[in-house]
Structure 1
Amino acid sequence: MDLNTVTEVVRRPPAQPGSLWREGDAWLAGGTWLYSAEQPGTRRLIDLTALGWAALVPGGTGLEIGATCTVRDLYAFVPPADWRAGPLLARSCEAFLSSFKVWNAATVGGNVCLSLPAGPMITLTVALEARYELWAPDGSARVVDALDFVTGDHRNVLAPGEVLRRITVPVGALRKHAAYRRFALTRLGRSTVFLVGTRTPGRDDLLLTVTAGTTRPVRLAFDTAPGARALARSIDAVPGDVWFADPNGTPEHRRHLTHHFAEEIRRELMARGPA
Structure 2
Amino acid sequence: MDLNTITEVRDARLREPWRPGDAWLGGGTYLFSEPQPRLRRLIDLSRTGWEPLVRHADGSLEIAATCTIAELARFGRRSLAAPAAPLFEQCCRAFLASFKIWNMATVGGNLCNGLPAGPMISLTAALDGECLLRAQDGTRRRVRVGDFVLGAGVKDLAEGELLRSVTLPGRALGCRTAFRQASLYGLGRSAALVIGALDPVDGSLAVTVTAATTRPFRFWFPLPPDAGHLRRTIDSGVPAGEWFDDVHGLPEWRRHMVLRLAEEVRRELTAPAGAGEGVR
| TM-score category of the 2 structures, normalised to the smaller one | over 0.9
Q: Is residue 2:246 matched to residue 1:246?
A: yes
1:36-57: per-residue Cα shift (whole Å, max 9, x none)?
A: 0110100000001111111011
Shift, 1:221, TM fit: 1.0
8 A Cα contact 1:194 1:210, kept in partner: yes
**Shift of the alpha carbon at 1:204?**
3.2
TM-score, L = length of structure 1? 0.95
Q: Shift in Å at residue 97 of structure 1? A: 3.6
How far off its partner does 1:272 sit? 4.3
1:21 counterpart = 2:48: no
User: In structure 2, what is the equivalent of residue 136 of structure 1?
Assistant: 135
> Does 1:68 pair with 2:66?
yes
Identity of aligned residues (%): 51
Q: 2:54 aligns with which of 53, 57, 64?
A: 57
Which residue number in structure 2 is paired with residue 36 of structure 1? Answer: 33
Q: Does 1:118 align with 2:117?
A: yes
**1:266 corresponds to:** 266
Rounded Cα–Cα distance in structure 2 between residues aligned with 1:24 and 1:190: 30
Consecutive aligned runs of 4 or more in structure 1 exceeding 6 Å deviation? none
Contact 1:26–1:45 under 8 Å retained in 2 = yes
| Structure 1 pair 7–183 and aligned structure 2 pair: CA distance change class (3 A) | same
Deviations 1:17-71 (A, max 9, x none): 4x52111001101000000011010000000111111101123322111100011
2:147 paired with 1:145: no
| Structure 1 residues 180-226: Cα deviation after superposition (integer angstroms, max 9, x where no partner) | 10011223211010110011115432100000000000011111111
User: For the residues of structure 2 that align with 1:140 and 1:119, how far apart are their CA atoms?
Assistant: 27
* Structure 1 counterpart SS, 2:267: helix
* 1:75-110 deviation per Cα after TM superposition (whole angstroms, max 9, x unaligned): 1112433x1011111111000042111111000000
- Give the distance between the partners of 1:233 and 1:247, measured in 2 at CA: 27
Q: CA–CA distance in 2 between the matches of 1:54 and 1:202?
A: 30
Alignment CA distance shift 1:169-1:202 (3 Å): closer
Gaps of 5+ in 2: 274-280
Calculate the TM-score normalised by the size of structure 2: 0.93
The one-letter code matched in structure 2 to 1:38 is P
Q: Secondary structure of 1:191's match?
A: coil
Counterpart CA distance in 1 for 2:184 and 2:98 is 17
Mark the CA change 1:47 to 1:272 in structure 2 (over 3 Å): closer, same or farther. Answer: farther
Matches within 5 A, 1:1-275: 1-10=1-10, 12-14=11-13, 17=15, 19-60=16-57, 61-77=59-75, 78-81=78-81, 83-237=82-236, 238-273=238-273
Amino acid at match of 1:69: C
One-letter amino acid of the structure 1 residue matched with residue 25 of structure 2: L
Residue 124 of structure 1: CA displacement? 0.2
Distance in 1 (CA, whole Å) between partners of 2:63 and 2:136 is: 21
Report the RMSD for the aligned CA atoms in angstroms: 1.4
Mapped contact 1:134–1:166 kept (Cα < 8 A): yes
Q: Which residue of 1 aligns with 2:277?
A: none
